[in-house]
Structure 1
Amino acid sequence: MKKSRWCFQVPRGYWRKSWKITKMFSVLMCALTFSVSAAAFAQHERVTLNFRQATVRQVLNEIQRQTRLSFIYNTEQTEQLGQISVEAHNESVTSLLDRILTGTGLTWKIQEDLILISQAGPETTAIPQAQEQETVLLTGTVTDIQKMPLPGVTVKISGTSFGTSTDANGKFRFSYPKNKAQIVLEFSFVGMQTTSVKYAGQKEIDVILYEDQKELDEVVVTGYQVLDKRTQTSAITTVKAEDIMIPGVTSIDQMLEGRIPEMTFMLNSGEVGATPRLRVRGTSTLLGNREPLWVLDGIVMTDPVDVDPDDLNNPDYLNIIGNAIAGINPQDIERIDVLKDASATALYGTRAANGVIVVTTKKGRIGKPVLSYSHSSKITRRPRYTDRNINLMNSQERVRFGKALADQHYIFPTQMPLVGYEGALYRLQSGLTDYDTFLNEVTWYEQVNTDWFDILTRDAYSHSHTLNVSGGSDIVRYYASLGYDRDNGVSNTTYTERYTVTAKMDVQMTSKMLMAIKLNGNVQKKNHLVSTLDAMDYAYNTTRALPCFNEDGSLFYYERYRGGYGGQGNKYLRYNIVNEIDNSSSGYDGKGIQVDLNLKYNILPTWDVTATGSYSVSSTLQEDWWGDKTAYVAALKNGEYEDKPIPGDDGKCILPYGGILKTKNSDTENLTFRLQSNYRKLFGEDDQHLITALLGYEVNMLRSKSMNNEVRGYLKERGMQFADMSSLNLDDYPLYKEWLQQNHLTLTRGLTNQLSLYLSLTYGYREYFTLNVNGRTDASNKFGSRSNERLLPVWSVSGMWNIQETFLKEASWLSEMRLRMSYGMQGNMLDGQTPNMLITQQPINSYYNENVSNVYQFPNPNLKWEETKQTNIGLDMSFFNGRLNIGGDFYYKKTENVFSWVNVAPTNGLTSYLMNNGSLKNVGYSVTLSATPVKINDFAWRISTSYSANKNKTQTDAVEKYELEDYLAGTAIISGESVGTFYSYEFLGLNAQNGTPVFDDYTDRRHLLEDKSLEDVVRMVMTKSGTREPVFSGNLFNTFTWRGITLSFNLAYSLGSKVRLFALYEPIISGVSAENNVRKEFVNRWQVPGDEKRTRIPAIINRSDEMYDYYNRHWSQEQSNKTKTFAYNLWDMYDNSDIRVVSGNYLKMQTLTLRYSLQPKLLKKTPFSSASVSFSTQNLFTISAKALKGQDPSQAGFAKPNLSVRPNYTIGLNVSF
């Protein structure tokens, strides 16, 4: 992207670096040291040229080509001159420059063989004659941080036009009238920060200019290298943290929705701390972890808790523990680079098959200390019955529904809670109450209308605070921050709390050695509901005709039928959801600290060596508690809290006293050491060749330890003590004794060692093209024993062709056009695979009375790498000096030797075996566009958009171990289909006689399904509904700025996925229970013949119906010996039918932010150097398919209803001192 900048034109095509332009002058000053008078020589140089409608830059390029002169000029000033026509025949350069620049407001001057073109005006600014005797001479030198002189720096008196520019040695000199006003010199230079200096009579004014951080736009960071964006050959997307920052959001991964092309963002819950699933360029593995690799400041991060990849890959899994960067404060982040193709990720080896997300944190800036504080207060809206997606009956409608069923002589479940209309009717029919009492009860139930969402959820207030300080000198630079976040969940009692600390220091030890040290630390606390409770599910499925509190405010308990252990000892136990929540908890405590040390030594100007060491430790404790007052514990006790445990077989007691405490302690330790050598050399007669080389050696050790334990008899409310059961005769409680024998503390240890060697070679010719080769080989203790493949290398080749510089250099409308191509191979290996048999040693078995061992895993010496080969083609274009930018990438990615489970004969000692079998293809493309349509005075409108597509297809001959639910939920891997493909029963309509749903389930030709695999049966009986994962995704981001006001919003969209509606019949499959609420759709259900023409909602079949059992148990369950079970009952088939599948496409207002930054003049009398306030909202609205009826398209009926992603509103404050 072009922008206003100074152009340095030096002889013979010197290779220029955009991010460090001052480096050129160290070479230039050496080149200027020769014996003849260069200044005199320059003035006698002559040229011959002829241009028609050419730019000034083209003319200067030709002068440079014919002479040994160099030029320094501001490209913005010369571009404003437009096109010129000029002809010269053996004319002196000085004469020609006079002709070109006359009347343009520009002038030139010669310093040896360097010509500086700048604003017109003599070196010493003209002073009116009457004031000449009252002038002050201002002289000095301007350099960069490394004391290199900066030519062409604009030096002027602040608030006036008096000034000059520095010469080739960085020196300036001019006079200014004396007056009583304070003289302030302003120094400005493109790519550097503008600096002001007060004149206090000093003879020499020496100034250091520091790099402007806007130059971050010109590089990409891979973690191992910092590359010039103009010459990069890889597919890398870079975003600044400030551009995607969402006030109130405490995790950077949740800010990436729609902002990264070719990255799919999926979040299935609005629970606090929920972690999104990210996919970079689709899915690269079927069984392994599909999440991208997180890298923080060049160090690979690991998850705090080891989660099974099967869970992480499950689209219905709710991850509230967090990922590798859960402990990082977003306010400490500077930028994010997402590495996508094989060329970009090759240096990370086997860990990078799913892409790499490189996070770079802020560092110290040279200058006085700057203290900054940021705060956000957020309100997250709780769900309400008035929400479109909560289409449930109120208490009056529910009572009418129950009455309608009773009028039809519906037989309610015999073991249902006796509440609501059904309970009142039971008491009347049983003679427990009279008719008047019955009517009073019904009236009361109609008016109860309990708001379960109000009781169990809240409008949650959250807040975050960050305090940081930054500063330093050219020797020492520092950055430190403290952060605190309290993110309260919408569900009562749920929250996450986090403390973070970051400290970074860069020290210039010597002129050749730089040391950087960093410390990150975090403490996290989380609280959620225990796994046996789901407040959202309860609020969604519980009738509103059931009260939660008595009139005096005490809890209202109702009796629930609870099955005893082993189906015996069944009885009714009292229940209240608030009591369950108050007497249970699920807590998470995590601590982590990481220390990084980096030493860089410059052996030669072209060669440096860097040593990096990182050590991190983390500890987590997950603690689940059920008190003895909960119904969950009462069911294990087989009695209420106040009841004495009943001994003997009749008691069926598995927990005599106290509650339950489950704990899981996890400790991880990670050590990384890296030694890397970097070489960069320009050579050739005109320095037209550039070679860079990187060679590195890396060692990584990851050690983990976990302990799982469950203890019964825990009394948390009595000082966290345990009930004394030493006096118990365990023979009186055989079930409890059996539990004690089978459950014991388990310890797990893991150790992964990895040794790596990596290499990167790059060759560039001028700015015309770049070629790159990357390679890495990993050796690890988790690979198989096939020696010829154990060190299978990861490699890539790539190239970049600068089309604009080669063919379209004269096109003024084109700023940039680059073509990129890459091809490479990556490998992947599952954890836990070994060429040796794994045996677990168990304690003494009570039956055998001796130690026992079990085969945990059979040897798998022939398991090979999963290999992913990827081809990428990209094109980057920029027009009209960067006002319009367009980019695109196309990729083809194929994974071979895919891991899959294959069924084997039980005679082998196991029923399945992991093998390399099949392939997985991903084909996709992306298009990005950014533009500045309007930029007038103080107003600017900027827009950016991206569009990405990915289509994958699996091919495997493996017979997978999938259940029926996997095919219905899209978690089965099916050969020839996309990952996430799910199937549905084909709905044919409603039975005209009784309103039951009709399907073609092969009832009349069952023999065709006999002895077939479940996958074959599914393909025959069901219809393919689509895929759960979107095919297309993107965003539209707009920013409007006017003076200090900024309005921005981001629209994110997703296309191509399918969603199953929430289950309609699942809550009443076993009968309509008085405790359950039902959706309002049942009002329009089939009731009489002819209704099948107006509705698709089936009837509710009475338990007295002769066909009830037939409908409630599918025939395939009876024929299980010959035909795989492919359905359970008619109602489950309806909930999983194609009529309950709708489009998952959506357009969402992801963020909307209004920010006001106070103008500097308003802050002059305050201690603040900057201040801004903002108001933002997230998830304000979603436009989706009408058939969803408000159901969040990111959720689906594959699992029970969960808390949807909630809208929130945030006020932010940022100040600096």
Structure 2
Amino acid sequence: MKRLKIILLFLFLGLQSFAQSQITGTISGTDGLTLPGVNVLVKGTSVGTTTDINGKYTIEVPGTEAVLLYSFIGFESQEIPVGNQKVIDVVLQQSTESLEEVVVVGYGEVRKRDVTGSISKVKESENVARQYSSVDALLQGRSSGVQVVSNPGSPGAAVSVRIRGTNSLRGNNEPLYVVDGVIISSAGEDVLDASTDANELQSPQNGLTGLNPRDIESIEILKDASATAIYGSRGANGVVLITTKQGQKGDGKAKINAYGSVEFSWISKKLDMLDGVGYAKYRNETALLEGNKVNFHISPDNKVYDITYVVDPNTGIESPVIAQNPMEDKNWQDEVYEMGITHTEGVTVSGKGEKSKYYFSAGFADQKGIVETSQIQRGDLRLNMTNELTDKLELDTRVSMIYQDGSFAQSGSKSGGNRSFTKQVLSYTPLVGFGDEDSDDLDLDVSNPYAWLTDYQDETKELRINASSSLTYELAKGLKYKIQGGLDYRNKDRSRFWNTGVFKGQKENGVLAMSTLDRYSYTMDNLLMYNTKLNDNHRINTTVGVTFDGSHAEASVYEVTDFPIKSLGIDAPELGRIITQPLDKITNEESILSFLGRVNYSLMDKYVFTVSFRADGSSKFADGNKYGYFPAAAFAWRMIEEDFVKDLNVFENLKLRMGWGQTGNQAIDAYSTLKNYNTVYYVDSNNNTSIGNVAGNISNPDLTWETTTQYNAGLDMSFFRGRLSLVTDVYYKRTEDLLQEIQIGSSNGFSTMPINRGEIENKGIELSLDGIIIDKKDISLNVGGHISFNRNKVVELGLDPSSVWNNGVESKEVFYLGNNVSTGTYFKAPANIFMEGKAVGMLWGYKTNGIYQDEAAAAEGPTYQGNANVAGDVVFVDQNGDGNINELDRTFIGDPNPDFTYGFNINFNYKRFTASALFEGVYGNQIANGNSMEIAFAEGNSKNVLSEAYYNAWRPGAPSNSHPRVGYDLNEVFTDRIVEDGSYFRMSNITLGYDLPVESLGLSKVNLYVTGRNLFTITDYSGYDPQVTSFMYDGTIMGVDWTGTPNAKSFLVGLNVTF
């Protein structure tokens, strides 16, 4: 029996071996060229192979019933039963989706192959999109020519996006955002402050708040004028088109997705400030240098004790008395910056029926910043529906709503040097405990940082609704009429309360400032679209239309002070004394009537022509200048369709693009061309409060559009069956009739007036490279990168020349200076100059040459505004050689414009595992580290300083060129000593994910992932972060780091479940 079993076993194995068969073959495309790297798989098994460099393959199949599955990127998959075949040659058809992929452009879409302008598309997978909490984060580092600046350390903080450099010197440089055809307001418009104090400006909030990245289907970034001219007067800075999701094709069943994540964030860097012992040494040394008594005693075990001086009433002798208990040593950065925790959860439901499709989402996020009092709670809803009402009529409706409730730490633009929370953390003495007050510090605009957590409130509530609805009717084959209406509504209330624990509240016995913003904008588009293929050689895509856009905004602000019950301040404004009337209301209305048209014509799929035109009539301008006209033209040559290119057998795609166009900018106040009057309150002769009106501006009825003319040439290439793609663009653009404020005589009560004057140019090169390194059944690896070079120059300002000195040589130059960085003691001066022939916003200040090492050298040096030097002072370079340092000695000390920006990404998949990483960087720019103006000098007052500023200070017998002497007090002067290299390289994002095996549970997919953000940055910059977020919407202040909230690193854990 045993022998029989062995014989049967060998017979069975022999049969199995006999059943195996070998299949060979060659795989090629419809053009006859063989395809290397095609996946060949025995369907239903893990047995597979790939074709070699000649497109050949060999595979073992289990029998004649086997089915082979052939798949390759960019081609339609095929299934072929084996049967009795031994050789199976396959011709793969190019994917229809690849051939007919469309790109959204202004007021329509075109086939990707027919694109003639410079357009970057950001379309991330569900895995990537869910890693981001905001749209700006999704854009960062992903497109050439686009620079994104944001601060994840501050919840809801604004984002600045620049496309191809700076176009306007004083106007808005942010791109136009269009969501599902509706223009939405950007963060630059949301800077209304709830205070009448110019020192108390709020950091602007993110204008894209509430747009959930998970709801986004795709983002198209229109960069050159041939693409943006269809938006006319609002397209000069580029256009970001955002399309949200719709229901996908399916079997009619709803696709349900639930998600949740928890993110932990912490301060990315801390500055090395003096600890308690170092601070005590610093104050004692300062006291001795000034001929005063020391204030602190330092014990052998490095404990600090306060010293008071008591006079004996009998002898009159003053003696020091050392306190019994040591002083508490506080590292304020450790005390007030904490772990921020954000949790996000939500659900999406999508589906498609026979004549309708829908997408619904609901989300909630609770984001806590790295400062205890900074937090935003936000809920969002979205419903997108498309219904085929008849065979010819389609209704599309998209509605989103967000509500958020936030609280913020004190920070801002011009308040940065004096009254930001960051300033208090860095400058406050480490030897004063929580809740203690120091009247000397109050005089210096410095309060206990803990008081800014307990005695300062900044609360904002905001409702935003974005809605659009369109009807599209097919008049004839290829001819459609579309009418679309859109609404962007925003209501925002902000309240700020300064209690008596902080200097402003102490002086006024509590101050409450409240403001409201109620704004809505609406659009109405009437479009006629014709898209047809006349025969195999001619294809026409045409859009003509009339659009009307309008907006209405009301803003009010009032201030209340002198609260009898201070704990109720923010909740009981009626208890205080009103010092600014609630009637101080600003109403703003503006509108644009536009006529537009675009024709895209493709000849033989080789030659593509695009022509567009738009005429905008704006209510902002007076008669005679009301209309602006913005034409554009572009040409693309699809060289890949030429036989001489096909014969090379090198390119998968080769297209040359050339374009020209004009766009505009109308970023001025709605009533700049009209005489404005302000309401004032005054006490009349009967001691009654009366209301009057005074002139509020000098109008200029001759104002007109800024006009930007741009030329673009591009080359699109792909190789190796589309596995390697290269896109190159070269551009030149020139902006004329710059909208500016010029200085005028003050005899009429005003110092400036708006005017069109000046020109600016930008030119640059953009390169993008994407590669599919591995593309197999169980493993894939994709990489991509981009680099962008931009150079700008002020061509003309139209002003009178003034004297400038450099190395003893005088020249006459045309220029103006930017706004003062601060209104306080430090940096109360401009940092930037705008000079003809130079880059925009060059840093302008005093050059220095080390430290005077002895009194003889100090005596020989030039005086500073008539004051003699001493050893240990900073050596200023006397540019005009007159022996005195003054404003005439200022010169170029840095350039805030980078030489280039870059980024690259990696995406890897292996079976159920996924990994992705994003890196980005900037090279060649300089930063004015405004924080160093104060903390990098041991000035000698009660403020804290950097450890190196004290320990490395110049002293007799201990020469130093790194920091001046203790007590040096010219640190408020802007010099090259605080100008630093701003280059950096950063890992912005790294994510690891795993798809859990849940098929047996009836779930489609469960993905667990972890994400790290900003985990490392390589830079020589000594400040908190080289990505400067100060003054993002003030075009006259560039490259200045001025005490904004520090950046944050974070770690996120998330779960995504699909039913």
TM bin, normalised by shorter chain, reads 0.7 to 0.9
TM-fit CA distance, 1:1059: 1.7
Matched residue, 1:957:
798
Matching of residues 755-904 of structure 1 within 5 Å: 755-786=593-624, 789-806=625-642, 807-829=644-666, 830-843=668-681, 845-846=683-684, 851-904=691-744
TM-score (norm 1): 0.71
Matching of residues 1169-1188 of structure 1 within 5 Å: 1169-1185=1004-1020, 1188=1022
Change (3 A) 1:264 1:704: same
Matching of residues 704-715 of structure 1 within 5 Å: 704-713=553-562, 715=565
Matched residue, 1:1148:
986
Residue 489 of structure 2, aligned match among 613, 617, 620? 617
Contact kept, 8 Å, 1:836 with 1:860, in 2: the verdict is yes
Matching of residues 279-318 of structure 1 within 5 Å: 279-303=162-186, 306-307=189-190
Contact kept, 8 Å, 1:675 with 1:697, in 2: the verdict is yes
Query: Alignment partner of 1:455: what SS?
Result: helix
Structure 1 range deviating more: 1049-1058 or 934-943: 934-943
Matched residue, 1:1035:
903
Contact kept, 8 Å, 2:936 with 2:945, in 1: the verdict is no
Matching of residues 994-1013 of structure 1 within 5 Å: 994-1001=871-878, 1005=882
Contact kept, 8 Å, 1:295 with 1:358, in 2: the verdict is yes
| Amino acid across the alignment from 2:1007 | S
Matching of residues 302-341 of structure 1 within 5 Å: 302-303=185-186, 306-307=189-190, 320-341=203-224
Query: Alignment partner of 2:641: what SS?
Result: helix
Matched residue, 2:342:
462
- Greater strand fraction, Structure 1 or Structure 2: 2
**Structure 1 unaligned regions, length at least 5:** 1-52, 62-73, 85-102, 106-119, 129-150, 165-187, 193-213, 415-419, 549-554, 564-571, 638-658, 726-735, 1010-1016, 1102-1110, 1113-1129
In 1, Cα distance between equivalents of 2:626 and 2:547: 17
Deviation by residue 1:356-414 (Cα, 9 ceiling, x = unmatched): 1111111112331111012121000136xxx5x51212112222333344454554899
Matched residue, 2:420:
534
TM-fit CA distance, 1:1167: 3.0
2:990 counterpart of 1:1166 = no
TM-fit CA distance, 1:1178: 0.6
| Amino acid across the alignment from 2:918 | N
The percentage of aligned residue pairs carrying the same residue is 22
2:433 counterpart of 1:547 = yes
Higher relative contact order at CA 8 Å, sep ≥6: structure 1 or structure 2? 2
**Structure 2 unaligned regions, length at least 5:** 1-25, 41-49, 67-74, 86-91, 296-301, 801-815, 822-826, 856-870, 1031-1038
2:309 counterpart of 1:427 = yes
TM-fit CA distance, 1:838: 2.3
Contact kept, 8 Å, 1:803 with 1:819, in 2: the verdict is yes
TM-fit CA distance, 1:1205: 1.4
Change (3 A) 1:55 1:1154: closer
Matching of residues 596-745 of structure 1 within 5 Å: 596-627=468-499, 632-637=504-509, 659-683=510-534, 687-713=536-562, 715=565, 717-718=567-568, 720-721=571-572, 740=579, 745=583
Change (3 A) 1:579 1:828: closer
Query: Alignment partner of 1:427: what SS?
Result: strand
In 2, Cα distance between equivalents of 1:1062 and 1:574: 17
Deviation by residue 1:569-609 (Cα, 9 ceiling, x = unmatched): xxx99975434422331011000223311111111122111
In 2, Cα distance between equivalents of 1:1036 and 1:153: 30
Change (3 A) 1:190 1:429: farther
In 1, Cα distance between equivalents of 2:895 and 2:758: 20
In 2, Cα distance between equivalents of 1:492 and 1:814: 57
| Amino acid across the alignment from 2:422 | M
TM-fit CA distance, 1:464: 0.8
TM-fit CA distance, 1:247: 5.2
TM-fit CA distance, 1:1069: 7.8
Matched residue, 2:1048:
1206
Change (3 A) 1:1165 1:336: same
Residue 396 of structure 1, aligned match among 277, 298, 302? 277
Matched residue, 2:264:
379
In 1, Cα distance between equivalents of 2:168 and 2:311: 61
Give aligned pairs, total.
936
Structure 1 range deviating more: 1062-1071 or 668-677: 1062-1071
| Amino acid across the alignment from 1:1147 | F
TM-fit CA distance, 1:1173: 0.9
Change (3 A) 1:244 1:925: farther
In 2, Cα distance between equivalents of 1:1167 and 1:977: 65
Contact kept, 8 Å, 1:904 with 1:913, in 2: the verdict is yes
Residue 1060 of structure 1, aligned match among 918, 922, 928? 928
2:424 counterpart of 1:520 = no
TM-fit CA distance, 1:163: 13
Which structure is larger by alpha-carbon Rg, 1 or 2? 1
| Amino acid across the alignment from 2:515 | K
Contact kept, 8 Å, 2:984 with 2:1026, in 1: the verdict is no
In 2, Cα distance between equivalents of 1:901 and 1:756: 28
| Amino acid across the alignment from 2:209 | A
Query: Alignment partner of 1:511: what SS?
Result: coil
Query: Alignment partner of 2:125: what SS?
Result: helix
| Amino acid across the alignment from 2:370 | V
| Amino acid across the alignment from 1:891 | Y
Matching of residues 491-530 of structure 1 within 5 Å: 491-530=371-410
Contact kept, 8 Å, 2:159 with 2:187, in 1: the verdict is no
In 2, Cα distance between equivalents of 1:75 and 1:937: 10
Matched residue, 1:1048:
916
Matched residue, 1:733:
none
In 2, Cα distance between equivalents of 1:429 and 1:1087: 33
Change (3 A) 1:826 1:558: closer
Change (3 A) 1:377 1:963: closer
Contact kept, 8 Å, 2:424 with 2:446, in 1: the verdict is no
Contact kept, 8 Å, 1:1151 with 1:1177, in 2: the verdict is yes
2:455 counterpart of 1:583 = yes
| Amino acid across the alignment from 1:766 | M
Change (3 A) 1:574 1:1065: closer
In 1, Cα distance between equivalents of 2:895 and 2:192: 20
Matching of residues 45-60 of structure 1 within 5 Å: 57-58=30-31
Structure 1 range deviating more: 701-710 or 405-414: 405-414
Change (3 A) 1:293 1:319: farther
Change (3 A) 1:968 1:561: closer
Contact kept, 8 Å, 1:233 with 1:820, in 2: the verdict is yes
TM-score (norm 2): 0.81
| Amino acid across the alignment from 1:290 | N
Query: Alignment partner of 2:669: what SS?
Result: coil
Matched residue, 2:10:
none
Change (3 A) 1:457 1:978: same
In 2, Cα distance between equivalents of 1:1153 and 1:1170: 18
Contact kept, 8 Å, 2:383 with 2:398, in 1: the verdict is yes
In 2, Cα distance between equivalents of 1:600 and 1:997: 71
Structure 1 range deviating more: 827-836 or 222-231: 827-836
2:891 counterpart of 1:1023 = yes
In 1, Cα distance between equivalents of 2:987 and 2:772: 21
2:235 counterpart of 1:352 = yes
In 2, Cα distance between equivalents of 1:54 and 1:724: 84
In 1, Cα distance between equivalents of 2:255 and 2:1022: 51
Query: Alignment partner of 2:544: what SS?
Result: strand
TM-fit CA distance, 1:469: 0.5
Change (3 A) 1:576 1:908: closer
